[in-house]
Amino acid sequence: MATNWEQYFERTGKTDVLSGGVTMVPVDTPLGQFSVWTKRTGNSPDAAVLLLHGGPGATHEYFEACDSFLPAAGIEYHYYDQLGSGNSQNPDDARLWTIERFVEEVEQVRRALGLGPDRFFLFGQSWGGVLAIEYALKYQEHLKGLVISNMMSSIPAYNEYAETVLMPPMDQVALAEIKSLEASGDTTNPRYEELLMEHHYVKHVLRLPAAQWPEPVVRSFAHINQSIYVPLQGPSELGASGLLLHWDRTADLARINVPTLVIGAAYDTMDPKYLQYMSTLFPKGRYLHCPEGSHLAMYDDQETYFAGLIDFLVDSAS
């Protein structure tokens, strides 16, 4: 059943600001027009941040940690569910799930929200970091700054880190079972999730006991659209094997001339040394290290994460 905003959008056929700062943005694609959901918090003439969530196919929900930090710093930010995710429309056609089409979607969202180089910061976490890098390489003239959080600029390097650093210390019996389930295509088996939670997630995704994971994270992960996630990321949680397998933009980072913050964490699924190195490749790069954090350092090293993020946004906005 369509929600009220879906009925309204279908009836009017236009972008509109609904209650609570929600804006439905029409997005043109090769397969027709669809709508995506955004929500603004705050109003700043200097710094407006568009948040690109991970997954691919997750939702904005795990970004709700921002509510405890960014408003007090006077920073405007926009939640955004990418097409196929969360509150946005969910067309069932794999031809839509390409990096290039998602980049054009972000650009249409930017225009609809009236964000420009006087105040537009693009923030990408995990898969959102891939999307943010690709957007910046094509449309950096619209940016005031860029944040790449917990995402290496090379999937081959990420896979090598998983194989050579993350997997060897794991319980090898459990690892063998994980790989066996992946090889047989049985990754929807509850046992797969159970093994990953015990041997990987609580060590490298969010360093808290599973029962203590914050509700917005649990909610966002429960809403991941597997029809987007699997084609791009691949079925494995220990590396990438989908359409992103050969993605590598490291050699192109020097072309991104806007102030850029790269965020890494000691226990991340992404190599923190590589992330620090990445930051030196941007002409105006800066690195933020979260010594207690993992892939979701915005939760398990929260004070470090948000203090560094806010410092960067305030410095770059002035």
For position 99, which CATH number holds? Answer: 3.40.50.1820
Specify the number of domains making up the chain. Answer: 1
Structural domain contains residue 96: yes
Helices and strands (DSSP H and E) totals, the chain? 11, 9
pLDDT tens for each residue of 113-172: 999 999 999 999 999 999 999 999 999 999 999 999 999 999 999 999 999 999 999 999
CA distances from 127 to 72, 143, 306 (A): 27, 19, 20
Assign 262 to helix, strand or coil: strand
**pLDDT at position 3 over 80:** no
* 66 and 139 Cβ atoms separated by less than 8 Å: no
Is 277 a member of any domain? yes
Q: CA triplet 195, 197, 202: central angle to 5 degrees?
A: 140
* E strand spans, 18-98: 22-29, 32-41, 48-52, 76-81
286 belongs to a structural domain: yes
Share of the chain above pLDDT 90, in %: 91
Q: Is 104 exposed, middle or buried (0-12, 13-18, 19+ CB in 10 A)?
A: middle
Q: Is residue 175 domain-resident? A: no
Model confidence at 262: pLDDT above 80: yes
Question: pLDDT by residue (tens digit) across 83-122?
Answer: 999 999 999 999 999 999 999 999 999 999 999 999 999 9
pLDDT tens sequence across 47-81: 999 999 999 999 999 999 999 999 999 999 999 99
Q: Would you call 261 exposed, middle or buried from its count of C-beta atoms within 10 A (0-12, 13-18, 19+)?
A: buried
Q: What is the pLDDT of residues 177-229, one digit of tens each?
A: 999 999 998 988 999 999 999 999 999 999 999 999 999 999 999 999 999 99
Q: Please identify which residue in the block is written with the tokens 């079925």.
A: 235
Residue 76 lies in a domain: yes
The pLDDT value given to residue 20: 77
178, part of any domain: no
| CA gap 175, 125 in Å, rounded | 26
Would you please indicate which residues are annotated as catalytic (active-site) residues?
126, 268, 295
Q: What is the pLDDT of residue 19?
A: 60
Question: Nearest CA to 233 among 143, 316, 131?
Answer: 131
In a domain, residue 217? The reply is: no
Look up residue 205 and give its amino acid.
Answer: V
Which residues does 238 contact at the CB level (< 8 Å), separation at least 6? 162, 166, 167, 178, 179, 200
In a domain, 144, yes or no: yes
The range of the structural domain enclosing residue 256 comes to 4-157+244-317
User: Which carries the bigger pLDDT value, residue 216 or residue 20?
Assistant: 216
